[in-house]
Amino acid sequence: MPELPEVEITARRLHEALVGATVESAMAPGLNTLKTFDPPLGALDGGTITAVRRIGKHLVVDVRSAAGEDLCVLLHLMSAGRLQLYDKRASMKDRTSRLLLRIAPDRELRLREFGTKQAAWAKLLRAGELAEDPALASLGPEAWPDPPADLRDVLAPQKARPLQAVLRDQHVLAGIGRSWVDEILWEAKLSPFARAGGLDEDEARVLREAIVARLGAALAHYEDVVRLPIPDKLPLPLRIHRHHGEPCPRCATVIEAVHYEEQVLCYCPQCQTGGKVLKDRRLSRLLK
């Protein structure tokens, strides 16, 4: 699933390319994609794109309609969606197309989704309705560029929940997902199963610094290497996640993993768990 750095660089590149562009027309080939009906999708026709931005893991395309109304296209890519700008219009036979904003004279901003789940979604909202939409109103504070200074207090109510789950909870902190939580916890030298409510002040400070450092470094990397057209698979600068079985970049200990049904959690036993290798979560215990 695209996370904060990937969504942020997508927003930046599309903003650079689309501000001032005219929306010729809009279509929603994905039957389950568009979650709103008022205003109608046709309200975008003839409008001018004023910004493309990120909120949490969401993308927002701001449009000033031909009638002078400020509208927002709110999108969530979910696990397999991608928002990309093309110099050619999509064929109606393209089964990956979910939402199409046709940009005059012949470009197209296209929400595509791979696989069969059709989980990516879009909403067309009036600008005044955006902050109150349930998808955004329930978000916690942004993880980057300025995570909460009182991070320990933000995490404290989570009590016995493990850090790796809490940091991915968008109601607690917005933007972090499966890939970057591994990177952040490795940077902070914290166990993924440390209790979120049990951090002391130093641990919370180090964790906050790790969030800023790892997400900031990812974005700096993307600024150097990502250009339009945005690739389907971004070159994620991961050091721990997806590196199970390889040496830790910091101490050379073999990186271990905990396997779940739909994800893999990676960590360094030496740096993060006091030398303990965690059992597969299907066994739900630490090795003694």
pLDDT at position 50, please?
Answer: 98
Average pLDDT estimate for 162-185:
97
Q: Over the Cα atoms of the chain, what is R_g?
A: 21
Average pLDDT estimate for 167-187:
97
Q: Is 47 exposed, middle or buried (0-12, 13-18, 19+ CB in 10 A)?
A: buried
pLDDT category of residue 285 using cuts at 50, 70 and 90: very low
Domain boundary among 115, 137, 159: 137
Average pLDDT value for the chain: 94
Indicate if the pLDDT at residue 18 is higher than 50.
Answer: yes
pLDDT at position 47, please?
Answer: 98
| pLDDT, tens only, 76-99 | 999 899 999 999 888 777 888 999
pLDDT at position 174, please?
Answer: 98
Domain boundary among 102, 137, 172: 137
0.85 exceeded by the pTM? yes
Same domain, 121 and 178: no
Q: Is 283 exposed, middle or buried (0-12, 13-18, 19+ CB in 10 A)?
A: exposed
Q: Nearest CA to 266 among 245, 287, 237?
A: 245
**CATH no. for residue 206?**
1.10.8.50
pLDDT at position 63, please?
Answer: 98
State the angle between helix axes of 178-188 and 201-225 in degrees (0 to 180), rounded to the nearest 10.
130
Same domain, 95 and 202: no
Question: Which 3 state secondary structure label does DSSP give 33?
Answer: coil
**CATH no. for residue 52?**
3.20.190.10
* pLDDT above 90 coverage of the chain, percent: 86
pLDDT at position 286, please?
Answer: 44
Sign of CA dihedral 142, 144, 150, 155: positive
Same domain, 117 and 18: yes
Is 161 a domain residue?
yes
Average pLDDT estimate for 221-226:
97
Same domain, 87 and 26: yes
Is 107 a domain residue?
yes
What is the domain range of residue 170? 151-272
Same domain, 133 and 185: no
User: Which tokens is 59 given?
Assistant: 């993308």
pLDDT at position 93, please?
Answer: 78
Same domain, 91 and 19: yes
Same domain, 101 and 29: yes
H/E stretch holding 74? strand 70-76
Number of domains in the chain: 2
Same domain, 129 and 156: no
Name beta bridge partners: 76.
58, 121
pLDDT at position 214, please?
Answer: 98
pLDDT category of residue 287 using cuts at 50, 70 and 90: very low
